[in-house]
Structure 1
């Protein structure tokens, strides 16, 4: 039983690594709710509208101090030129640990075709920002207790880092590549016995295509996203399918995402040692009503051993403004 508990703790740790919690903004499936800018800086200002997106994510309802995440992002073109700017602020809490960050982004979009009838564009993005890490030890000790490894205060540390990315759009096809946290930082170490590291680099690659039958109100978007964490050599892949339906007031859409770790964890099952790989099923649904976007995302962990079966809930609210006419003749919802 003790070994099983130890393995369970290790599994939870693996989950934290895969979501990159406490190491910058976590990578979940919220990018599928018209929010690719959260993970790819080259997507800032790529659309014909300026966009604001607010998300709130809560994990494991009924569990004290469960992980939660809030993000606010905004991005827009600068006039009619190729340049764009964006900004992201977020707050990520997980028990006694938390981190808060703010990034600003500059992106540049180069049209490779001779006119705007056909979409053929390459984009580059650079984000720079600060992340403040906190550890709240104020409730670790009872009044009068002493432990040389516990300061009993709220400790904090701040790091600066940079993300770079590139996107390519050709008609209904797109591809994104991003390197996050490319700078080495001083290790986050709140006490002499703590775990410390300075390599937070994460690599993301996304590809997808939108298919639509001529004259149909329906379109379908299969996509993939691959993640690789440099320090621990962990990786995972998302397999996604998204469907859109044109309606009088805008668009309704939804889909399903399946995330699977390419690395496993072992646990004791009876007298045998078994292994499992972290996997999530994430259905999502949304609606574009005039210039507003509403979306709901639910993630379910499908493993033999997991911390809680309650799932992870996320709500996304969005607003589009300063919209221009749809420029390109393509099935490209992220652009038009």
Structure 2
């Protein structure tokens, strides 16, 4: 009986995640692979290069129909204080599939040149295509026929915006982002209820500081908070990572992330290590997260792989768009 209850809980959890999938793409540790642009458009153009990142994420390996995500991010500076970026994604969760893109713009201001105090503003236009794949629908003993209303893949397209602000002071950073500022326009006559309140808030903050002189070390504790207004659920990531540079500005890094629901600090959703390196223009990162609840016995965790390229070093002389990484 206990096994049946556990399996039922797993199915309900997967269904709940599928239901909430359209609210926002899952953010795991992709942003910690030296790609803060994942969480906010305000980071578009920060850095002295054209930055490209591709992510592959597989959640709950071992559970059939578990979420699987592929995404691509690119951002570059187009003027001394202006940056643009874009991202594409493909996300599958059971029989629900969504694809889409974000087009971002950011502007960066110098509040104080000598203390390295900067303020950035960003906006993203989002287009999302949501589809229900019926190819895997099967009949059961209780339901010998498929619902006659389900005759093809159900699709919907939504348009929305994200806005954000970023404050930086030397190695300190604080980003506040508002995602999906518009309510979803949905068909009120649809047979299945769809959530129309997609708004969610994200705060990302941390501090980057150097180790002993000539050690080539950098340390970065950080925190990522996310809250959905639809049901008030929220979670927090507590992270720590370090980088080790050589004379050629190449580096390797490692870290750990701890995610929990904000009303259950001592019951983490997942926890896991991260590693990566940058060599010349090439970047690689890998993150692993262990599921710490009852699902742990049915999967081998979540895996995230990041590969990247960085071109056109030194395309701007404005300090407000320089990266805080080993600057």
TM-score when normalising by structure 2: 0.87
In structure 2, distance between residues paired with 1:110 and 1:214: 30
Q: What residue ranges of structure 1 are gaps of 5+ in the alignment?
A: 265-275
Matched, 1:90 2:89: yes
Displacement after TM superposition at 1:22 (Å): 3.4
Q: What is aligned with 2:203?
A: 205
Alignment of 1:92-241 (within 5 A): 92-114=91-113, 118-141=115-138, 146-148=145-147, 150-187=149-186, 192=191, 194-212=192-210, 213-241=212-240
In structure 2, distance between residues paired with 1:25 and 1:190: 26
Are the counterparts in 1 of residues 42 and 164 from structure 2 also a CA contact under 8 Å? yes
Relative to structure 1, the CA distance from residue 69 to residue 335 in structure 2 (aligned partners, 3 Å threshold; closer, same or farther) is farther
Matched, 1:46 2:46: yes
Q: Secondary structure at the match of 1:27?
A: coil
| Two-structure CA RMSD over aligned residues (Å) | 2.7
Relative to structure 1, the CA distance from residue 309 to residue 61 in structure 2 (aligned partners, 3 Å threshold; closer, same or farther) is closer
Displacement after TM superposition at 1:290 (Å): 1.0
Relative to structure 1, the CA distance from residue 32 to residue 293 in structure 2 (aligned partners, 3 Å threshold; closer, same or farther) is same
Relative to structure 1, the CA distance from residue 119 to residue 254 in structure 2 (aligned partners, 3 Å threshold; closer, same or farther) is same
Are the counterparts in 2 of residues 118 and 328 from structure 1 also a CA contact under 8 Å? no
Q: What residue ranges of structure 2 are gaps of 5+ in the alignment?
A: none
Q: What is aligned with 1:296?
A: 286
Displacement after TM superposition at 1:211 (Å): 2.1
In structure 1, distance between residues paired with 2:27 and 2:252: 24
Matched, 1:25 2:44: no
In structure 1, distance between residues paired with 2:189 and 2:325: 42
Displacement after TM superposition at 1:138 (Å): 3.1
Q: Secondary structure at the match of 1:21?
A: helix
Displacement after TM superposition at 1:61 (Å): 3.0
In structure 2, distance between residues paired with 1:138 and 1:284: 36
Q: What is aligned with 1:321?
A: 311
String of CA shifts for 1:34-73, please: whole Å, max 9, x gaps.
1110111101111121211111111233443331111111
String of CA shifts for 1:236-255, please: whole Å, max 9, x gaps.
11100011101245011110
In structure 1, distance between residues paired with 2:247 and 2:10: 49
Relative to structure 1, the CA distance from residue 149 to residue 254 in structure 2 (aligned partners, 3 Å threshold; closer, same or farther) is farther
Relative to structure 1, the CA distance from residue 139 to residue 288 in structure 2 (aligned partners, 3 Å threshold; closer, same or farther) is closer
Displacement after TM superposition at 1:23 (Å): 2.8
Q: Secondary structure at the match of 2:112?
A: coil
In structure 2, distance between residues paired with 1:245 and 1:334: 11
In structure 1, distance between residues paired with 2:17 and 2:236: 14
Structure 1 runs of 4+ off > 6 angstroms?
A: none
Displacement after TM superposition at 1:229 (Å): 0.6
In structure 2, distance between residues paired with 1:100 and 1:50: 24
Q: Secondary structure at the match of 2:209?
A: coil
Q: Secondary structure at the match of 1:112?
A: strand
Q: What is aligned with 2:275?
A: 285
String of CA shifts for 1:125-150, please: whole Å, max 9, x gaps.
000021000001133256xx744465
For this pair of structures, how many residues does the alignment match? 316
